[in-house]
Amino acid sequence: MKNRNKIFLIFCTALLFAAAGCKKILEEQPRSSIDPSYFKTPEGIQGGIAGIYSSFRGHWGTQIFTQLFSAGTDESLKGAAADVQHWFTYNNPAIKSNTNDYLGFWNGLFIDINTANGVLEYGASANMPAATKTQVLAQAKFLRAFCYFYLVTTFGEVPLHTTFNTDPTAADSRAPLADVYAQIIKDLTEASNDLPNTAAAGTGKPATKATALYLLAKTYLWRGWSTAAQPNDFTSAFTTAKNLIDNKGTYGLNLMPYFGDVFKEGNEYGSEILMVIDHTKDLKYGQNSAPGSFASGPAENKSNFFWRPNYPTVLANYPAGGGSPVCVRDIRNGRPFQRIRPNTQYVIDVAFANRATDARYEGTFQTVFLSNSTQMAAAGTPGVVTPRGQLINAVDTAIWFADRVVTPAERASFKGIIFEPEHLPGATVKYTASFFPNLRKFNDSTRADLNDYSDRPFILFRFSELYLIAAEAAFKGGGTMQQAADMINVLRTRAALKLNQTPAEYAAAVAAQQITSAQVTLNFILDERSRELFAEDCRWWDLARTKTLVARVQQYNPEGSAGVQSYNMLRPIPQSQIDLVTEGPKFPQNPGYF
């Protein structure tokens, strides 16, 4: 592969066994060194699988990853405390000089691929029950495909390695796109044949047959949009997704009745969830800092902080100066990182425009903060005094992020502070880069300290997305337009259920939510994906796959519209990878970057 990186890759394969594995899958045996023969032992191949799963904690739910893959889309704008700001604005000179932003993601996935290769190459000789061995090897195929799926959809052509790497080399090259996709499809097909229909009780959410079929459908969809497309890709994507939907009972899958419950704490292993990245506060396994230490571990899940406004700095007299904070930072409301915020022009006017009969806006965003003059203030105790009256803790709304322009009478009678979408004509107290609706999907009320990271499992794949995959594939010719509408309507019917509805209100909402085949367009599908999957770290990939990144950023995102270019539909190859290839042809960068 590449000189120093090759050695680093093998060394980190060993470290993965000492890293935090998914304890719900197996117990780990930390080791400081590894020999290929170790993969011939039961603890070796099982430890390899656990190591790969644990490594994903270093990506999803971390702050740099979240910004790298959620910034610069139609959904999001830069928060007041954003880190990798150049991806929000597509400040192209900065992007070109920061190609190593993706180094951790690139290296981490290739390390995992090499570990999977070791398991597959040597694991067949492991002395363990045949059925168990078959399951472990199927896990390795799924995980190798998983890593290559994210590499090829992020960077395009990448090196393709399917044997365990033991010797350093300074030569490497990118494989044709068709070869990488073919390997992913082969691995997922074989994995789906051997993985169980459902996970064993108490094992969490390791890959099952359904997980492999989900990713297989999505891979066909991606390849169908790519230059490596095969004639039946969209048909295969639709058929694979629909068969999984039609047989959901076999796999223990189903939509939750109410959208707002999907991300409710405690539902991470529910019927709608296909795959999670587990987390733990156990310092032996979690790669975390000690709770309450204010340190930062390399794999902490801080997704509950990134989309959070700076609510503790809203003073009683806002927008004028003076007064005490109407809310103080507490465990329930969380730590206001302000890394990224909703692009409310798109959110309010387009994606979630129908808030009357669609529950997904209220299920996605927290728009009110109750008064709390002290941490865990008792309900009914006096809160802060604003120019409009005394707030009552845990009773009165101290901050309201309205979805419209309020009337002067409403503002005068409201004791708290009302913010309005900044793009709406007539807005007075406007949303800012610090003050905006909070994302509620990743809330964690169980933290011991108000600044602690979350140990909630990070939800990665959801059953509901299969309906969107099927709809997009049908739209692209893999089915009929009516089938596309039917798939979308399943999700829109679920979204019609709101809290405290009467039966008549629910029936009217269901009717209002239905669409016809004539309404199915690519833009409608993308808007539906926002309604269903907002902030679930897939939006840049959605826009890149559908070749709509430039058009939609220019249409909806004022920060990124001037800088976005078509070459941003691929991310840059880390410069370190390029520099370490010193033998043979030079390793090429993606067009547009240097």
CA dihedral sign, ordered 170, 171, 172, 173: positive
Which residues is 76 bridged to in the sheet? 342
Domain membership flag for residue 72: yes
Cβ-contact 582, 172 below 8 angstroms: no
Average pLDDT of the segment spanning 18-35: 39
Domain membership flag for residue 86: yes
The answer to whether residue 12 scores a pLDDT higher than 70 is: no
Confidence of residue 25 (pLDDT cuts 50, 70, 90): very low
Average pLDDT of the segment spanning 347-375: 97
Where b means 16+ CB within 10 Å and e means fewer, 142-173 reads bbbbbbbbbbbbbbbbbbbbeebbeeeeeebe
Domain membership flag for residue 515: no
Domain extent for 416: 280-458
Average pLDDT of the segment spanning 301-313: 96
pLDDT of residue 452: 87
Number of structural domains in the chain: 2
Beta pairing class for 382-386 and 389-392? antiparallel
Q: Please state which of the ranges 14-23, 200-209, 368-377, 422-431 shows the lowest mean pLDDT.
A: 14-23
Confidence of residue 417 (pLDDT cuts 50, 70, 90): very high
Domain membership flag for residue 210: no
Shared domain check, 298 and 405: yes
**Residue 563 belongs to a domain with what CATH number?**
1.25.40.390
Average pLDDT of the segment spanning 315-326: 97
Which helix (H) or strand (E) segment holds residue 78: the answer is: strand 76-78
Shared domain check, 153 and 12: yes
Confidence of residue 440 (pLDDT cuts 50, 70, 90): very high
The answer to whether residue 211 scores a pLDDT higher than 90 is: yes
Shared domain check, 433 and 289: yes
Cβ-contact 369, 311 below 8 angstroms: yes
Place of tokens 């309020």: 406
State pLDDT tens for residues 475-527: 999 999 999 999 999 999 999 999 999 999 999 999 999 999 999 999 999 99
Q: Please state which of the ranges 92-96, 363-367, 426-430, 461-465 shows the lowest mean pLDDT.
A: 92-96
Shared domain check, 558 and 418: no
Shared domain check, 33 and 147: yes
Three-state DSSP at 339 gives coil
Shared domain check, 289 and 162: no
Out of 410, 443, 458, pick the residue that ends a domain: 458
* Tokens (6 digits) for 360: 């997904």
Place of tokens 């009914």: 380
The answer to whether residue 30 scores a pLDDT higher than 60 is: no
Place of tokens 């790669």: 287
Domain membership flag for residue 557: yes
Amino acid making up residue 450 = L
Shared domain check, 404 and 292: yes
Q: Please state which of the ranges 201-205, 234-238, 396-400 shows the lowest mean pLDDT.
A: 201-205
Q: Please state which of the ranges 10-14, 457-461, 504-508, 515-519 shows the lowest mean pLDDT.
A: 10-14
Confidence of residue 286 (pLDDT cuts 50, 70, 90): low
The answer to whether residue 574 scores a pLDDT higher than 80 is: yes
Out of 413, 434, 458, pick the residue that ends a domain: 458
pLDDT of residue 11: 30
Amino acid making up residue 240 = T
Shared domain check, 303 and 415: yes
The answer to whether residue 18 scores a pLDDT higher than 70 is: no
Number of H helices, E strands in the chain: 21, 11
Confidence of residue 218 (pLDDT cuts 50, 70, 90): very high
The answer to whether residue 17 scores a pLDDT higher than 70 is: no
Confidence of residue 451 (pLDDT cuts 50, 70, 90): confident
Shared domain check, 452 and 323: yes
CA dihedral sign, ordered 544, 550, 552, 558: positive
Shared domain check, 402 and 289: yes
The answer to whether residue 269 scores a pLDDT higher than 70 is: yes
pLDDT of residue 202: 80
pLDDT of residue 294: 62
Beta pairing class for 76-78 and 340-342? antiparallel
3-state secondary structure 13-54: HHHHHHCCCCCCCCCCCCCCCCCHHHHHCHHHHHHHHHHHHH
What's the mean per-residue pLDDT of the chain? 91
DSSP E strands in 220-351: the ranges are 273-277, 340-342
Q: Please state which of the ranges 229-238, 296-305, 312-321, 387-396 shows the lowest mean pLDDT.
A: 296-305
Out of 458, 475, 507, pick the residue that ends a domain: 458
Which helix (H) or strand (E) segment holds residue 467: the answer is: helix 464-473
Shared domain check, 451 and 563: no
Q: What is the spatial distance between Cα 158 and Cα 174, in angstroms, rounded to a whole number?
A: 4
Domain membership flag for residue 500: no
Cβ-contact 401, 436 below 8 angstroms: yes
Compute the half-sphere exposure of residue 366: CA atoms within 13 Å on the CB side of its CA.
23
The answer to whether residue 353 scores a pLDDT higher than 80 is: yes
Between 446 and 113, residue with greater pLDDT: 113
pLDDT of residue 169: 86
Place of tokens 């394969």: 13
State pLDDT tens for residues 145-203: 999 999 999 999 999 999 998 888 899 999 999 999 999 999 999 999 999 999 988 88
Domain membership flag for residue 232: no
Domain membership flag for residue 49: yes
Cβ count near 586 (within 10 Å): 9
Shared domain check, 297 and 403: yes
CA angle 216, 218, 219 (to 5 degrees): 65
pLDDT of residue 80: 98
State pLDDT tens for residues 40-55: 899 999 999 999 999 9
